[in-house]
Amino acid sequence: MSHTEQPVHVTRRLQKEESASYDRSTLDYIHRASATGLYEIRGLGAKRKLPHFDDLVFLTASLSRYPLEGYREKCSTRTVLGTRFAKKPIVLDTPITIAGMSFGALSANVKEALGKAATAMGTTTTTGDGGMTPEERMSSKTLVYQCLPSRYGFDPDDVRRADAIEVVLGQGAKPGGGGMLLGQKVNPRVAKMRTLPEGVDQRSASRHPDWTGPDDLAIKIQELREITDWEKPVYVKVGATRVFNDVKLAVHSGADVVVVDGMQGGTAATQTCFIEHAGIPTLAAVRQAVAALEDLDMKGTVQLIVSGGIRTGADVAKALALGADAVAIGQGVLMALGCNRDTYQQDGQIHSAEAGYAALGTAPGYCHHCHTGKCPVGVTTQDAVLEQRLEPEWGARHVRNYLKTLTMELTTLARACGKQDVHHLEPEDMVALTVEAAAMARVPLAGTNWIPGQN
């Protein structure tokens, strides 16, 4: 056969070879960057595959470890946060809390729904970068108030109205970056709360205006305590980077509770390069945070809340087993409200949201366009029409159901490990499925005694 007469199937296969480095996603990135000269801004958290809680499994009941009965035998989920200095610590019925997300990023209806759900579940919700809305204060039995670098809407009356204060250094999606809200979401109400001109892009402050470093943070925390006459717990939240050092310094600065947010943590808007390439996986962050507390003999005195990609009851159980006292969920509750769902419910009717996704150039299951303010299901929007697609009662019920499911799964796994209290879960209750997860979580690779880096 001559060269020009080779079988067709041979030449066809050789013409479509994909590159692992310059894959379709990278090609799309380069094409877009060259067309616009802009970095991409999007919502949600890191989308690429990372070592995560899925890489750990529980060693439940065996001949040497006996389970609790699922229905008759109690498994406590009561959680207390802020025992170190505050006169009035936070007492929760479940260790699952709702993470800080701003009014501005989210609609007022969403904040109300989250508050109602948290109240029903006996847990906390948290304000975000934009201040406290009356809706969320009224609907949340227990509300954590964030103090952020931007100080948008920060008000001492709200400090006095809050149940705890959370001083935010950063979040897992963008440690070292500040909040971002594009002009299309700065509607009159948001503009007024944040003292911004309407429709104008909000710029990010990445440092606090009046303190830098743990030595100054110590004085700032004291200021917040003095203003609240030492009643309310002060949390310190960091995006997960140098977690061991940061947790130690947060404790030295006087934090009652430390919140560590891993790179899977979400945002409503930031540069993609930040989301995917800054911060460490939550799995690695948890153990470093716990190690820091143990190093200072503060485990149990200063509580640890972990967030960033907590999705399921199993995730909650694993975070607790690794040593967290509680978790915070952001993206998960938004998905419970309908994020990436193909329908929404309005006025008792189910409607298709497909057209809304298509208009954004995406589809349910793939959307991360929170930054546009055109959320097809009315969650991350300030648009007067779109925000009606999320009704507070419906939303509250869905979030409550989600958190209830997670809590039930948590106790199921805890009971199977023989625990009467979910806080008795420990690292030895688990093994890892991959070498990376074993190293990060500091538990043995399944079937072996090996913990990379430890033995």
Partner 1 sequence: MCGIVGLLLKKPALHDRLGELMVPMLIGMTERGPDSAGMAVFGACLPEQQRKISVYSGLTDDGAAYDWVGLADAVNAALKVHATPVIKGNHAVLTFEGPAEPVKAFVKTFDAKLHLLSAGRSIELYKDIGTPAEVAARYDFAHLGGSHLVGHTRMATESAVTPDRAHPFTAGEDFCLVHNGSLSNPNGVRRMLEPRGIRFETDNDTEAACRFLEWRLREGDTLHDALQKGFEALDGFYTFLMGTATELALIRDPFACKPAVVAETDDYVAIASEFRSLAHLPDVKHARVFEPAPEEMYVWKI
Partner 2 sequence: MEDLSFDLAVQTVRALNQFLHGPADTLAGRHVRVSNPDGAHNIAVGINAPVKVTIEGHAGYYAAGMNKFAEVVIEGSASTGVAENMMSGKVHVKGFASNSAGASAHGGLLVIDGDAGLRCGISLKGGDIVVGGSVGSFSGFMAQAGRMLVCGDAGDALGDSLYEAVIYVRGTIKSLGADAQIEPLTEADIASIAELLAAGGLQHEPASFRRVASARTLYHWNADADQEY
- Closest distance between partner 2 and the C-beta of residue 81, in Å? 23
- Closest distance between partner 1 and the C-beta of residue 214, in Å? 5
Binding flag, residue 245, partner 1 (CB under 8 A): yes
CA 161, CA 321: separation in Å to the nearest integer? 33
Binding flag, residue 267, partner 2 (CB under 8 A): no
Paired sense of beta strands 326-329 and 96-98, if any:
parallel
Binding flag, residue 188, partner 2 (CB under 8 A): no
Binding flag, residue 203, partner 2 (CB under 8 A): yes
List the strands of the sheet with 96-98, edge to edge.
96-98, 326-329, 303-307, 257-261, 234-239, 164-168, 142-147, 124-126
Binding flag, residue 301, partner 1 (CB under 8 A): no
- Closest distance between partner 1 and the C-beta of residue 168, in Å? 18
Number of residues that bind partner 2 (CB under 8 A): 34
Binding flag, residue 252, partner 1 (CB under 8 A): yes
Question: CB-side exposure of 44: number of CA atoms within 13 Å?
Answer: 17
Task: Choose, by CB under 8 A, the member of 28, 73, 216, 428 that binds partner 2.
Answer: 216
Residue span binding partner 1 (CB under 8 A) among the ranges 67-75, 245-253, 257-265, 280-288? 245-253
Give the amino acid at 139: S
Q: What is the CA radius of gyration of the chain?
A: 23
Nearer to partner 1, 192 or 207 (CB): 207
Binding flag, residue 214, partner 1 (CB under 8 A): yes
- Closest distance between partner 1 and the C-beta of residue 454, in Å? 19
Residue 132 backbone phi and psi in degrees, to 5? -100, 130
Nearer to partner 1, 142 or 150 (CB): 150
Question: CB-side exposure of 301: number of CA atoms within 13 Å?
Answer: 13
CA 257, CA 245: separation in Å to the nearest integer? 15
- Closest distance between partner 2 and the C-beta of residue 168, in Å? 14
CA 337, CA 330: separation in Å to the nearest integer? 11
Structure tokens at 197: 């001109």
Residues 30, 38 contacting (CB under 8 angstroms):
no
Binding flag, residue 215, partner 1 (CB under 8 A): yes
155 binds, among partner 1, partner 2, none (CB under 5 to 8 A by kind): partner 2
Task: Choose, by CB under 8 A, the member of 212, 352, 405, 454 that binds partner 1.
Answer: 212
Q: CB-based contacts of 337: which residues, under 8 Å, 6+ apart?
A: 110, 113, 377, 379, 390, 395, 398, 399
393 binds, among partner 2, partner 1, none (CB under 5 to 8 A by kind): none
348 binds, among partner 1, partner 2, none (CB under 5 to 8 A by kind): none
Nearer to partner 1, 120 or 218 (CB): 218
395 binds, among partner 2, partner 1, none (CB under 5 to 8 A by kind): none
Nearer to partner 2, 58 or 211 (CB): 211
- Closest distance between partner 1 and the C-beta of residue 211, in Å? 8
Q: Identify the CA nearest to 264 among candidates 184, 327, 340, 173.
A: 173
Nearer to partner 2, 209 or 453 (CB): 209
Task: Choose, by CB under 8 A, the member of 124, 140, 187, 228 that binds partner 2.
Answer: 228
Nearer to partner 1, 253 or 303 (CB): 253
Nearer to partner 2, 105 or 240 (CB): 105
Structure tokens at 164: 């705890």
Binding flag, residue 213, partner 1 (CB under 8 A): yes
At 374 the three-state DSSP class reads coil
Binding flag, residue 226, partner 2 (CB under 8 A): yes
DSSP strand E in 272-331: where?
303-307, 326-329
CA 309, CA 327: separation in Å to the nearest integer? 10
HEC secondary structure over 89-123: CEEECCCEEECECCECCECHHHHHHHHHHHHHHCC
CA 235, CA 212: separation in Å to the nearest integer? 17
Cross-strand partners of 432: 56, 445
Binding flag, residue 176, partner 2 (CB under 8 A): no
Residues that bind partner 2 (CB under 8 A): 36-38, 150-151, 154-157, 159-160, 182-183, 194-197, 200-201, 203, 205, 209-211, 216, 219-220, 222-223, 226-230
